[in-house]
Structure 1
Amino acid sequence: MDLKVGNSYNGFTLKEERTVKEVAAVAYIFEHDKTKAKLIKLSSKDDNKVFAIGFRTPPNNSTGVAHILEHSVLCGSRKFNTKEPFVELIKGSLNTFLNALTYPDKTIYPIASRNEKDFFNLMDVYLDAVLYPNIYKQEEIFMQEGWNYKLETKEDELKYNGVVYSEMKGAYSSPDGSIYRYIPNVTLPDTQYANDSGGDPECIPDLTYDEFLDFHKKYYHPSNSYIYLYGNGDLEKELKFINDNYLKDFDYRKVDSQILEQKSFTELHEAEFTYGIAKDEDEKEKTYLNLNFLVDKATNTELSYAMEILTHMLLKTSGAPLKKALLDKGIAKAVSGEFDSSIQQTMLSIIAKNSDPDKKDEFKSTIYEVLNELATKGIDKEAIEASVNKVEFTLREADYYGFPKGLVYYTNILESYLYGGDPLAHLQYDAVLDKIKSEMFNGYFENIIKEHLLNNDHVSLITMKPNKGLVEEKEAVLKEKLNKIKQSFKDEELNNIIEKGKRLLERQNTPDSKEQLASIPKLSLEDINPKGETIPTEVRNIEDTKVIYHEFNTNKIVYSNLYFNSKVIAKEKVSYLRLLGDVLGKIDTERYDYVKLSNIVNINIGEVSYLPVAYNDYAKGEEFKAFFAVKFKSLLSNTDKALEIISEILNHTKFSDVKRLKQVVDEVKSRTETMIMQSGHMVAYRRLLSYMSARGLYDEKLYGLSYYKFICELSNKLSENPEAVVKELEEIVSKLFLSDNLLISFAGESEDYETFKNDINKFKLTLKKGKGEENKYDFEVTPLNEGLLTQAEVNYVGKGGMFSRDKYNGSLNVLDTILSYDYLWNNVRVKGGAYGVFSLFRRDGSGAFLSYRDPNVEKTLGVYDNIPAYLDEFKAEREDIIRYIIGTIRKVDHPYSNDDKLNVGDANYLSGITDEMIQKEREEIIATDENAIKQLKVLMQDILDENYICAIGNENKIKSEGNFKQLVRVKE
């Protein structure tokens, strides 16, 4: 399509065309003729096409209206009149991404697919959803997704329920999540950012249905939209579809979505908040301290990138000066920092965790002391170079939390475009980075510290203290509030609430009609490639060392994993393997102190991690392989230096620096506590697997609650008997890092492999000779069936069991789709109010059902137990089964990054999963029919009969519900 600036194409006038070499794309910037909607197409060779429509949605309160609306518009629309088109698409689309996201000032609806037909189907559903939702016809959508009064009879206790209500109760249960919600409230008090667009659970029930509708009427108009297209799709066809089916029917409207600008403070603003801990929990070292600097407008692109680099320099490496000073002084056990460029006025936030209130002044003064010293004496040049290199490497990879690259680019565009700036400013970073590099050793970052931090009066200081019994107190207050509300209602009002609840339940229980389901666009089995994609894998040798080689283009970046057989370590010591992974690279070595080490790593290595991994050995039944993996990626030209640094870390780390070792352990403890609160479903899942198999128990000792308990004990041990810990680590290193104990994997092209061979041979010469004696990992498995007690206001509920491995087949994957997005979704999420729920069936014979941010325990376990009865009654038309099959293939065919390809290819090889096995599973998926699903009833019953249960969450709820053999307090 030959385009000319100034011409109109299918209702859109081309305003600008620009080549963006950084992302290998040509950008076409359009404005819609009738509505003035903004549209950008990044045209590239990428077949993973992305579409998104976003709206500027600044909230005026903390009722979560933007968030509730994000959920609700996907619950049926004009053309797609099912209860949840979003879920139907997940069940029956080949999408590679499908979601909706609420930010503090915008709401976006992105989709991605590699299949053109599917791509247009998804666009159609999403555009209809945001512009013509069913929310105006069905108040029950608002009640289900937002909040409602739960009351079945007049005698019942009045309660709140709702998906977003439960989700945000979970979000506010995490102190880490809470501190980030308080930061804009204190730092930007006169703007919409002072409100929580996600919703404060205490405020969500203040939102009325009319206010909810008014928010949509105001903001969800094409004139307030930012539309985005990415990939190798046909631009003319895409523009025509968007205009002819949607935008042509709207006229221009002036939408007041202005985001207020915060006037600068003239003095420090302070605030204090609390969060809940158990009544018998120690308050010592549980306080969060936080200092924030408002920096500048997001449209100042150069400063945004410079601040991103400076934040990395100051706070994100092991030897980062601000982090180091706060830890060395004992002000906190963990320090983190973020530069937020996703809001109109950018902000640097510094957070110290596991501190005490009386250290607040020292926290603040230490930050200013360090900044003053850096500004006057200068920043270490290696530290500057390291951070510049690290940020640039991350930018060029554009690998962000599983988002497709095209979506990453859209969020980058909005960081300027939403605030009236150049939409491509955050994508065309070469010139900015070149300028920064040319000035970086000439006082560039020192001047930024002076101007934007030291001479900045717009600063806020937040203290968030633990409060014993706060959760119980809030529960009591809420209970009393609802009791008073109920007492204030007349009989007529109570009857109305009960009737509304019945109508909601009726809507939830009434299946979509055939006609309604037929409105959802579908693919056919012919749209599926019958042959699955495989990761090229062959076994080679570099001298006497086996290499798992994956040949594909990596653009001169080396991706490699170095596997050391970790079964040379006694099974009683396996938690030390995870500890080793947590401390390597963060402690002095013989040649470098840990500050310098961190810098040379970031200068020469794109990314490196050290961690224990395990793979089921399907050729040997219950056995599994265990390795300690060194995973790294670097520019091909830097591989020799990268391996030299890794060798220094593996062979010459000085564990005897007990003070530093203790710092690292305390940081790990703090990080693990955060993980437990934010990912309780994974804690419950790993605990369930530990009841089932030796491999499950092994993984749990490394990545589950057991490791947290181990770290807590170890922290004390380092104070009482540090020599014993040092000795354990030294012994493990002496047994582990041996040349004959090494297996290598590599991803790249043939000519890159030849270079890598020479570099790896030099590396091998630095390892001690030997192989070590392998231990038998015959862990004794015990079904503990635990209730794990926390101060969260929600729960994560799991149940599972084992089934015979020979019964595993592709139809189980289809059942997973059916359960996760039909039976479990409807009963645990829609009716139960949990934020999420899913099932998992693995090739090793483990099966599990898990809920996420769930207000219930027993009720959810009852839903799991009813799965066999559901399957007994299961009926599905052939077209429904086809939809489930397509939704399952979507998961199987998810596009991989180069890093993913390496790791998945390795896992398949090490587990003995062949291309033939993968193809057979695909064929079983495609051949699945109603009978195959019904036959899985027996297998589901076998899993549930094992009766392994584990839930983590609200202490009072778990104590009063669930048949748990043991109750375990999570925090010490």
Structure 2
Amino acid sequence: MNFQVGKKYYGFNLKEEYEIKEIQSIARIFTHEKSGAKLLHLENNDDNKVFSVGFRTPPPNSTGVPHIIEHSVLSGSRKYRTKEPFMDMVKGSLQTFINAITFSDKTLYPVASRNDKDFFNLMDVYLDAVFYPRIYEEPKIFMQEGWHYEIFNKEDPIVYKGVVYNEMKGAYSSPETILDEEISKSLYPDTCYKYSSGGNPDVIPELTYEEFLDFHKRFYHPSNSYIYVYGNGNIEKYLEHIDKDYLSNFNKKDIDSHIDAQKPFQKRKEILAYYPILKDEDDKNRSYLSLNFVLGENTNPETYLMTDILRLMLIELEGAPIKKALLQDNIGEDVFSINVGGIQPGFGIVAKNTSSNKKEKFENIVFDTLKKLVEKGIDKKLIEASINIVEYNLREAGNFPTKGLLYNIQSMDSWLYDGSPTAHLQYEDTINKLRKNIDTGYFEKFIEERLIKNPHSSMVIVEPKKGLQEEKDRALKEKLAKFKKSLSDKEIEDLIKQNKELKKMQLSDDTPEAKATIPKLSLSDVDKKAEIIPQEIIKFKDITLLSHNIFTSKVSYVDFYFDTSVVEENLIPYISLLAGILGKIDTQVRDYSELENDIYIHTGGINFGANIYIENDNNEIFYPKFIVSGKAVGNNINKMMELINEILTQSKIEDTNRIKELIQQIKSRIEMSIFNMGNIFTSLRVNSYFSPSMKYAEKLKGLDYYWFISHIIEEFDNNSQDILDNLNKVYNDIFNANNLIISFTGDKEDLDLTKKSLPIVINNLDKENLTSKNFDFIEQKLNEGILSSANVQYVSKGYNFKKLGYEYSGNMNVLATILNGDYLHNRIRAQGGAYGAGITIDRTGHLTTYSYRDPNLKESIDAYDNMGEYIRNLDIDESELSNYIIGTISRLDPAMTPHGKGQLATSRYISHITQEDIQKTRDEVLNTKLENIKAYASLLEDTMKENYLCVLGNEYKIKENKDLFNKLVKLKK
């Protein structure tokens, strides 16, 4: 329909309407007159529709109340009476995104779906959750999601439990979380940003139920809301529904959620903080040094983009001058940037794995480098490359498949602070202005004003402290013991009763009446046919070229898949190491800084990686590949091929200092990811005990690879020549035209341009026949407990059911949905207090369980072992089963970027998975019966009885359960 500015539509007054060319959308800004709610509508042709309702939620302290509210409002509401409508929708929706996100000053509740009926259902569940949650009638929600005193027997000690409490214990196991918090405290000491909105586990138990409710009453009102609707949906229908069922029930209200900006400092502040390491860990060169600056206001489009450009230009790119200067002077093993704040962007320069006695030298190098840049001028190519990266990210929405969600977050970066909601979506003029200012001294002046002469800054030092976690654990035990001692027998009995009632609630099924309140799709709403990704197989100069004719906004994506089965077993980790250094070292043509600048001036990036592709239905056969990926527009495809050829044929693997720098950085980045992705590391590790393909993958990207990197860094000065020789051998073996597969994603016109340019690479590759090496895999039940300073666990069990005589069927995906959404969620997350748990089952026979940020260990293993019994006794009706089937289909049909689709089609080609196989799996999912599911009880029991186990977690927790393991291994060997 045609909207008119100034007119009212279902209680919403249309304030503005205009086109945003950058995202091919019409923007409409509404206000709801009665309630004061604000609404941004972005209309376009995207069928992946996004809805979000958000609130300004400045934290009053570090109890994590915004985060606990975010979890809790999704645990039942006025209309939706089950314990967890959020999980019920996850189980039975065609959603392409569903989550809730707590930021430092706001909370967002976004959902997305391509299905109109599903989208409307999701929108309604979220609106009811935020405005009419069940938290006021059910205190046990706060106990489960936030925190509570847990005790079941009078003799037992009291402990803290709660999902958010344990999630944040896991987060605070990472020194980077502590660094991030301390930087915010240092830069914004008089604002809400000095607090942890997620919650500091030391402070979370100070939050009372009354304060929790008061926070919701105060901030979760339409007058403090930001509603967002994106895509090709029926906006009239949405406006009518939002007004009639929700906003019309509220009157406009003055809500003091104003976010104050920090007053500028007169001089730099300094903060010293600590993070825990194990008593017998080496604490030498384990500190973090950070110089941090407040850059201005986020509502200013130039400042907003300059924050990212500065990060790339000075620190993140390999040729970035501050990074180069700090690494060359051995100030740290790694240098990276950190962004904090909200209304005022904070920019941090971090040196990791350094010593606090290098503080002055660190500071001097940073400022001396900045002054030289101002006096002599910044390399214009470096500026241009940085701007291009930012522009590509904006145009591709960060390569995130549900791009409407990214636009929502970008809109809030201005809207929340009373700026225009589309200020950062209309970026072209700002990008053009910045590009025109490359030669004017604009960037040098920005650095001089915002960094060199800016007293609103801080120095943060975070040092390792041996035994700190044990001290905290001991103090907590004493505190809780003292608390228990202060209680009367009656009070202890009341606590036990509370916990038993909570457990009963967690383990009880929702009533049929409650289940009936959850909106459902029917199987008729599901597309019976699996999506066909276009793929043409072309023989191009004796090489297989896979073409995927998909709309990509004129960006051409080209991937080269080189066969790495020619690499000897002992050199497998060098494949990943090679991927980590290529494009970051000199070539025979230019140094690595010039190379990187040219890459980003002419292309959207050239990346290197290693992966394995497993034969359809057979994990014993796999195809390891080294992948070179590039993206470019139009005539720049030719330049991209020249650069790829230069890297693949003329890289100089000889500069020991540079390669040592890169290996140190690789080690640092893996360390940063371990506690955030502990479930992935433990799942891969446990699969490597029994699976040849996963053993190979473990050497490429698992803990084996981390230990390999750690070892060669320790030995580098003595063995540098051997390391370089091994890298050169792998480099010379891999880039061969034999068995090469090239994948192209884009339109026909750009395919023709690509085919003309491909000989630039192909003609220079080796053609020599190389022999695939035998990989001698020995199945070993290592069953490791991996000891760390983390104060939570990541618990994984698994085995290959095909080894036990079982066959794969598509309905196993429904089995996984049932176990994930009900049994494991209830036992390990809701009852056990872990942040997450799940099971994966794949067509090659791998069945793997995992938990994430889990306070328990043995209890989670017991839960895995009892899955078979749960499935054997499963009793669900046809409607519930249909729900699980629909939820499974949503996992089979995830949102994907165009390039992601091309990569998926290529992976299926390599693994010999046909469209018929994909359709067969879908048919088996859609035709799943209860008896199919119940028949898997024995399979679950038999795989768990094999007892292949890996746990990464707290040293003392693992040692308490040492009888479960064959081997205890230190994470940091």
Which interval holds the TM-score relative to the shorter structure?
over 0.9
| Letter of the structure 1 residue corresponding to residue 734 of structure 2 | L
- 2:778 is aligned with 1:780: yes
Maintained 8 Å contact 1:290/1:461: yes
Distance (whole Å) between structure 1 residues aligned to residue 564 and residue 908 of structure 2: 19
Match of 2:768 in 1: 770
Distance (whole Å) between structure 2 residues aligned to residue 676 and residue 129 of structure 1: 34
Distance (whole Å) between structure 2 residues aligned to residue 363 and residue 492 of structure 1: 59
| Letter of the structure 2 residue corresponding to residue 568 of structure 1 | V
Distance (whole Å) between structure 2 residues aligned to residue 66 and residue 748 of structure 1: 43
The alignment-based identity, stated in percent, is 45
Greater CA drift, 605-614 or 948-957? 605-614
Deviation digits for residues 287-306 of structure 1 (CA, Å, limit 9, x no counterpart): 01111101111111112212
Distance (whole Å) between structure 1 residues aligned to residue 522 and residue 24 of structure 2: 33
Deviation digits for residues 796-824 of structure 1 (CA, Å, limit 9, x no counterpart): 00011111186111111001110011000
Match of 1:356 in 2: 355
Distance (whole Å) between structure 2 residues aligned to residue 172 and residue 918 of structure 1: 41
Match of 2:461 in 1: 463
Match of 1:854 in 2: 854
- Secondary structure at the counterpart of residue 417 of structure 2: coil
**Shift in alpha-carbon separation, 1:188–1:928, aligned structure 2, 3 A:** same
- After TM superposition, the structure 1 = structure 2 runs for residues 128-167 of structure 1, keeping only pairs within 5 Å, are 128-167=128-167
Deviation digits for residues 900-925 of structure 1 (CA, Å, limit 9, x no counterpart): 11111111111111100000100100
| Letter of the structure 2 residue corresponding to residue 352 of structure 1 | A
| Letter of the structure 1 residue corresponding to residue 159 of structure 2 | K
Give the 4+ runs in structure 1 shifted more than 6 A: none
Distance (whole Å) between structure 2 residues aligned to residue 394 and residue 635 of structure 1: 14
Distance (whole Å) between structure 2 residues aligned to residue 494 and residue 186 of structure 1: 42
Deviation digits for residues 120-155 of structure 1 (CA, Å, limit 9, x no counterpart): 101111000000000000100000000000011221
Match of 2:77 in 1: 77
| Letter of the structure 2 residue corresponding to residue 254 of structure 1 | D
Deviation digits for residues 596-630 of structure 1 (CA, Å, limit 9, x no counterpart): 11111111221222122111122766211111111
Distance (whole Å) between structure 2 residues aligned to residue 744 and residue 654 of structure 1: 25
Distance (whole Å) between structure 1 residues aligned to residue 526 and residue 361 of structure 2: 62
Distance (whole Å) between structure 2 residues aligned to residue 503 and residue 339 of structure 1: 43
Distance (whole Å) between structure 2 residues aligned to residue 620 and residue 721 of structure 1: 39
Maintained 8 Å contact 2:604/2:631: yes
Distance (whole Å) between structure 1 residues aligned to residue 942 and residue 153 of structure 2: 37
Maintained 8 Å contact 2:619/2:845: no
Distance (whole Å) between structure 2 residues aligned to residue 61 and residue 272 of structure 1: 20
Maintained 8 Å contact 1:739/1:771: no
Deviation digits for residues 447-492 of structure 1 (CA, Å, limit 9, x no counterpart): 1001111111101110000001111111111111111111112223
**Residue 538 of structure 1: CA displacement?**
2.4
Distance (whole Å) between structure 2 residues aligned to residue 620 and residue 252 of structure 1: 62
Maintained 8 Å contact 2:97/2:402: yes
Distance (whole Å) between structure 2 residues aligned to residue 486 and residue 414 of structure 1: 45
Maintained 8 Å contact 1:51/1:110: yes
- Aligned residue pairs total 970
Distance (whole Å) between structure 2 residues aligned to residue 740 and residue 281 of structure 1: 47
**Residue 208 of structure 1: CA displacement?**
0.2
Match of 1:574 in 2: 572
Distance (whole Å) between structure 2 residues aligned to residue 633 and residue 902 of structure 1: 13
**Residue 716 of structure 1: CA displacement?**
2.5
Distance (whole Å) between structure 1 residues aligned to residue 582 and residue 183 of structure 2: 33
Match of 1:416 in 2: 414
Maintained 8 Å contact 1:335/1:350: yes
| Letter of the structure 1 residue corresponding to residue 370 of structure 2 | L
Greater CA drift, 587-596 or 914-923? 587-596
- After TM superposition, the structure 1 = structure 2 runs for residues 585-734 of structure 1, keeping only pairs within 5 Å, are 585-618=583-616, 622-734=620-732
Greater CA drift, 919-928 or 953-962? 953-962
Distance (whole Å) between structure 2 residues aligned to residue 307 and residue 886 of structure 1: 42
Match of 2:15 in 1: 15
Q: What 5-or-longer segments of structure 1 have no aligned partner?
A: none
Maintained 8 Å contact 1:741/1:770: no
**Residue 717 of structure 1: CA displacement?**
2.9
- Secondary structure at the counterpart of residue 22 of structure 2: helix
**Shift in alpha-carbon separation, 1:527–1:49, aligned structure 2, 3 A:** same
Distance (whole Å) between structure 1 residues aligned to residue 749 and residue 302 of structure 2: 37
Maintained 8 Å contact 1:614/1:699: yes
Maintained 8 Å contact 1:525/1:882: yes
**Residue 264 of structure 1: CA displacement?**
0.7
- After TM superposition, the structure 1 = structure 2 runs for residues 194-205 of structure 1, keeping only pairs within 5 Å, are 194-205=194-205
Deviation digits for residues 336-394 of structure 1 (CA, Å, limit 9, x no counterpart): 11345x60111111111000010111111111111111011100011011111111011
Distance (whole Å) between structure 1 residues aligned to residue 617 and residue 937 of structure 2: 27
| Letter of the structure 1 residue corresponding to residue 231 of structure 2 | G
- Secondary structure at the counterpart of residue 880 of structure 1: helix
Maintained 8 Å contact 1:286/1:466: yes
- After TM superposition, the structure 1 = structure 2 runs for residues 275-286 of structure 1, keeping only pairs within 5 Å, are 275-286=275-286
**Residue 769 of structure 1: CA displacement?**
2.9
RMSD after superposition: 1.2
Distance (whole Å) between structure 1 residues aligned to residue 110 and residue 732 of structure 2: 50
Match of 1:887 in 2: 887
- After TM superposition, the structure 1 = structure 2 runs for residues 478-627 of structure 1, keeping only pairs within 5 Å, are 478-618=476-616, 622-627=620-625
Distance (whole Å) between structure 2 residues aligned to residue 652 and residue 718 of structure 1: 24
TM-score where L is the length of structure 1: 0.99
Maintained 8 Å contact 2:617/2:845: no
- 2:56 is aligned with 1:25: no
| Letter of the structure 2 residue corresponding to residue 688 of structure 1 | V
Deviation digits for residues 707-752 of structure 1 (CA, Å, limit 9, x no counterpart): 0111111113321021111111111122211233422111122221
Match of 2:825 in 1: 825
Maintained 8 Å contact 1:802/1:946: no
Distance (whole Å) between structure 2 residues aligned to residue 453 and residue 640 of structure 1: 39
Distance (whole Å) between structure 2 residues aligned to residue 647 and residue 959 of structure 1: 52
Greater CA drift, 369-378 or 548-557? 548-557
Maintained 8 Å contact 1:101/1:107: yes
**Residue 942 of structure 1: CA displacement?**
2.2
Distance (whole Å) between structure 1 residues aligned to residue 307 and residue 205 of structure 2: 39
Greater CA drift, 521-530 or 774-783? 774-783
Maintained 8 Å contact 1:741/1:771: no
Distance (whole Å) between structure 1 residues aligned to residue 736 and residue 907 of structure 2: 22
Match of 1:473 in 2: 471
Maintained 8 Å contact 2:169/2:201: yes
Match of 2:303 in 1: 303
- 2:392 is aligned with 1:393: yes
**Shift in alpha-carbon separation, 1:743–1:771, aligned structure 2, 3 A:** farther
Match of 2:933 in 1: 933
Match of 1:797 in 2: 795
Match of 2:56 in 1: 56
**Residue 437 of structure 1: CA displacement?**
0.9
Greater CA drift, 492-501 or 344-353? 492-501
Distance (whole Å) between structure 1 residues aligned to residue 498 and residue 618 of structure 2: 57
Distance (whole Å) between structure 2 residues aligned to residue 637 and residue 813 of structure 1: 44
Distance (whole Å) between structure 1 residues aligned to residue 393 and residue 777 of structure 2: 40
Deviation digits for residues 771-813 of structure 1 (CA, Å, limit 9, x no counterpart): 3222122322312110011000000000111111861111110
| Letter of the structure 2 residue corresponding to residue 616 of structure 1 | I
**Residue 183 of structure 1: CA displacement?**
1.2
- 2:962 is aligned with 1:964: no
Maintained 8 Å contact 2:795/2:861: yes
Q: What 5-or-longer segments of structure 2 have no aligned partner?
A: none
Deviation digits for residues 848-879 of structure 1 (CA, Å, limit 9, x no counterpart): 11000000000100000001111111111000
Greater CA drift, 226-235 or 391-400? 391-400
Distance (whole Å) between structure 2 residues aligned to residue 758 and residue 619 of structure 1: 37
Maintained 8 Å contact 2:307/2:345: no
- Secondary structure at the counterpart of residue 559 of structure 1: strand
- Secondary structure at the counterpart of residue 623 of structure 1: strand
Match of 2:187 in 1: 187
Distance (whole Å) between structure 2 residues aligned to residue 208 and residue 112 of structure 1: 34
- Secondary structure at the counterpart of residue 331 of structure 2: coil
Maintained 8 Å contact 1:294/1:345: yes
Greater CA drift, 670-679 or 196-205? 670-679
